[in-house]
Each structure stands twice: as structure tokens, then as C-alpha cells.
Structure 1
């Protein structure tokens, strides 16, 4: 099941603009290795879940995976072949806003070689450019 907020103040949100680098959530704190975004963008709840499944299948119970992002932004869209007007579309999916430097996932309890392979599998699923970082 994809992540989404339990309740929100407003159902629909404006698109906004991603400016600057991440000042929070930009260092590895829970695990030994992390996956850091090098670009800004939106990460859908489905993409976050796909990354979680790919990592869990690889580490197979040894080690722990931490997900450091949560989708809090509703992204709306209007159905195809609809005329102009009639207001803003309905929320279609939930997305996490990613700034450059944000840590997306963290791994602990595995060796460096295994972490590198696991995070490489995760990187293939991501719509933004990412890199592996170590703690400290």
C-alpha cells in the first residue's frame, strides 16, 4: 500500500517551486549508508514503495532499511480530452518534494559491498539523480 497522509488541512495543493539545497534531512543519521538526491523533484508514493520493495528483497531480513521521505503533497490532474475551465482536477497521487541533498533511504547492518549493490538497485527506480553516501 502506497504511503499517504492520514489527514490534511487542504485536499489540493499548488505546485510550488523547488529552490535551493536541502538544509534538513541531508545527512545520514539512522544507518551507515544512505541514498542522497543530487537533483530536485517529486517522488511519488508509488516510487517510494517500489524502492522499498527492491531494497527489502535484496537485503532479505539482514540489515535494516530506513525511509527518510514521506509524500505530503497531493498532485492533481484533469482527465484527458477535457475542455478548458471546470476548475482544478482531483488529487491523483501523493508525492514527496525532494530538494538536492536530501537523504531518501538509509541502510544499516550490511557490509559496504552489499549496501552499494542494494542502493544501486534503488537508484534505478528513482526519477532523480542520486548517489551513495556514508555516515560521518
Structure 2
């Protein structure tokens, strides 16, 4: 599972995910990509599940690039614990995804296989997505 090797601080504030993606909105590596159309936090488990679904459908042909990294620690307190006594421990790691962000890229497979693989991968993610294609310029 993806997570940072080390961070400056153990816990973070929640924050808001506002506005469009100001970077990572173009395809850099592959021919086909999966682009987010709404803001959401995507956990490391969801990223891994999507990656597995994509590579499984591609039958280990081609190449997959993951363009997001879970670097935000999300803390939670155990169930049935009273209020107070500080912030909970880090439960999982997440990536803040803004609309327009390319999350996965694929290359080396046909268009039919790529679109179906990205569709299966998008089912594992909490964000609404669309498949984008590189325009040959």
C-alpha cells in the first residue's frame, strides 16, 4: 500500500478540496487516462484496488502509471470513545483529488482494452471520472 516514508508532522488538519486541479490535468506518459470530475479524498486502498482491476483486465500487457499519491494522514478515534482526550491516531493515508486531475494513465494496449480497464478501475474509486485520450499533435 502507498504511504510516505516519513513526514514532517504526524497528523494534519482536514482542510477543504476547492477549485480545479492546477497541475496534473494533462496526459504525460500514456495514451489513455482516467480523469476525476469531482473533488474527493481517495484512500491508498482504493488506489491499489483500482490499480489491480486495471492491470488484471490488461492481462499484464502495456504499462500503467499512477499519477496520485496518498500523502494526507487521516486520523480517527476508536468506536465508543468519549469526547476529548486529544486527536485520534492515524488510521489511513489519502490523496486529495481535485476535478480535472489525471489519476491513472495507460499505454501499450488497444483502445477497447484501455477503455474497459479504466472503466473497471473507476468502479473502485469514490470519484466520478471520465476516460481521456491523447490528441496527436
Do both share a fold (TM > 0.5)?
A: yes
Q: Across the two proteins, how many residue pairs are aligned to each other?
A: 135
In the aligned structure 1, how far is the partner of 2:66 from the partner of 2:78? 32
List structure 1 runs of 4+ shifted beyond 4 angstroms: none
Note the C-alpha offset of 1:19: 0.9
Instruction: Tell me what 1:118 maps to.
Output: 117
Aligned to 2:72: 73
Q: Could you tell me how far apart the structure 2 residues matched to 1:126 and 1:51 are?
A: 7
1:14 corresponds to: 13
Tell me how far apart the structure 1 counterparts of residues 61 and 86 of structure 2 sit (CA, whole Å).
Answer: 50
Measure the CA separation in 2 of the matches of 1:29 and 1:135: 9
Per-residue deviation, residues 8-67 of structure 1 (Å, max 9, x unmatched)? 000000000111000100111100000000000100000000011111111112110000
Q: Hey, what's the Cα distance between the residues in 1 that align with 2:55 and 2:128?
A: 21
Q: Over the residues paired in the alignment, what is the CA RMSD in angstroms?
A: 0.6
1:87-126 mapped onto 2 (5 Å cutoff): 87-126=86-125
> In the alignment, is the contact (CA less than 8 A) between 1:65 and 1:108 conserved in 2?
yes
Distance in 1, Cα, partners of 2:61 & 2:117: 12
**Contact 1:29–1:135 (CA<8 Å) still a contact in 2?**
no
Q: What is the match of residue 43 of structure 1? A: 42
What is the TM-score with the length of structure 2 in the denominator? 0.97
TM superposition score normalised by structure 1: 0.97
CA distance in 2, matches of 1:113, 1:54: 15
How many angstroms apart in 1 are the aligned matches of 2:19 and 2:34? 19
